[in-house]
Structure 1
């Protein structure tokens, strides 16, 4: 039992580790629109190549089966230097992964480019 607790503690610390460039990341683009009744649209991009956008719309407004339908995507450069792009939607039936694409590994150190520059060159 103690081994499981120690393993969980080690894994949680490793998962929380932040790369130096991530700790210094700045928000370079941000939009947030919300009508207060459930319809919203937001997006942001950070200087380290992280991007996220999401749009939510009320479906069956005022009805007993009212819910918010969500469509969105996010992308980031993983620890191996690959661009990861995820597209999803969520509705009354739950969360649905539409697409997850992992790009080729890019050696960030040898390229001399920042993760944001690489993501930009890859069109993300």
Structure 2
């Protein structure tokens, strides 16, 4: 199974919102999202086999028929900085596949930074 995430890296202004996308090549039994913070700690964010789950400023949506999942971050904070992992598992006998995205050091709202707007569809390119 191939797993691809986009964008591979981005920087946001504190308070901005963005969506990270995960596309996979075959039907998935489960999709999980993780964050590895700059200190190296791995944090499990969501288990989303299908539908949408929300936790505070984060929500994750998986659409199995479209072979995609997305993680939306609202009102970003500096504590959101780190590497985001999308892990996808298929019931066929093979190892789980994963891909990564890095959300680089969020800048205070007073400084200049590139802001990425969320896409119209959850899995659109």
Q: TM-score, normalised by structure 1?
A: 0.30
- In proportion to residue count, which structure has more helix? 1
Which one scores higher on RCO, CA 8 angstroms, separation ≥ 6?
2
- In proportion to residue count, which structure has more strand? 2
Instruction: Name the larger-Rg structure.
Output: 1
